[in-house]
Chains A and B, each alone.
Chain A
Amino acid sequence: MSVETPLIGDFTAAPAQSRLAGARIGVVTFPGTLDDRDAARAVRLGGGTPVALWHADQSLHGVDAVVLPGGFSYGDYLRAGAIARFAPVMDTIVKEAQAKDTSAAALPVLGICNGFQILTEAHLLPGSMIKNNHLKFICRDQALRVENNQTAWTSQFTDDEIIAIPLKNQDGQYVADDATLAQLEDEGRVVFRYVGGNPNGSRNDIAGITNEAGNVVGLMPHPEHAVEAGYGPDDTTGMRNGTDGLTLFTSVISSLAGATK
């Protein structure tokens, strides 16, 4: 790890030694992105190699998967994620994520919080996010149920596993029309559901969803803040010890490295 104060989007770190390091995961930085370094750390702790992607650069530099991290891209001034969606890098991501006929080759994409909002604005995922029903920014440890462990990002969770990861947002209320909600439910595309209380008024307690192919996943809570004991959410073993979020990253990294059991 570099001892210099890292610049944003500067993930220059000693590559992990295992063969998992062969999995190169892009982390996109938009102006106003906040959690890119956290996402890069999560990739690294998951054994993969993080690659910085810049919003203005159309190239994905050959990465195997992409994370759109949290933050307030462009200040969320128009709508959350609405301007970032038009960045050059998004054109490529949208194209590669929809490589339909060869679904094995479709690019795995994870959108976290603002990244999820960008994915809905880019129509890679249905629905949208509006202001929390209580109107406040909320930061707390949040329990989730993993309802789909068949996606690229959740394959290492057990079915209906309850996990705890931090939630922090202002515009986190998931909305979609009834037909879309019914379709998501019928097709098992609700990946994460809030348990122990709905923190923002989201329809059907939805915290995260996937596309039909299962390669694109978006969620409001922040798995990248639950990857390292001592700095994550509280869990039964102690303060800030929760690392449930790491499984999203190890899921995609090990499948990319051909190590899925």
Chain B
Amino acid sequence: MPRIIVEVMPKPEILDPQGKAIVNALPHLGFTEFSGVRQGKRFELTVDGEVTEEILQQARKAAAEMLSNPVIEDVVAVRVDDEGDAA
């Protein structure tokens, strides 16, 4: 079944404690090439049937009003997942 992917990231100006912890941990595991990490969220909204522009609009609304909190987060992507039901 088709899916809509919503990606939410912490706002750039907000400290991301989890991302910070990851970037501090990476060198301990031998990964030394990364100077920053930010951790976000990915939502997969499954749709029964075709993804119409109207449904996509619904997804954008849900992303803005519920899936993210505009005080601390940005919605960075709302897109149709062409891979379908690949898990």
Contacts and interface: CB of A to CB of B under 8 A. Distances in A.
Interface of A: 78-79, 82-83, 86, 120-121, 126-128, 130-133, 135, 173, 175-177, 201
A78 B14 contact: no
B17 interface: yes
Contact of B15 (A82, A121, A130): A130
Contact of A79 (B13, B18, B21, B69): B69
B17 A176 contact: no
Contacts of A78: 66-67
Given A130-B17, A135-B18, A176-B71, 8 more contacts: A82-B66, A83-B66, A127-B71, A130-B10, A135-B21, A175-B72, A177-B71, A201-B15
Interface in B18-58: 18, 21
Contacts of A176: 71
Given A120-B71, A127-B71, A175 B66 contact: no
A91 to B, nearest CB: 14
9 nearest A-B residue pairs (beta carbon): A128-B71, A128-B72, A131-B17, A133-B17, A79-B69, A128-B69, A135-B17, A175-B14, A130-B72
Interface of B: 10, 13-15, 17-18, 21, 66-67, 69, 71-72
Nearest to A177: B13
B78 to A, nearest CB: 16
Given A86-B66, A120-B71, A128-B72, A173 B17 contact: yes
Contacts of A82: 66, 69
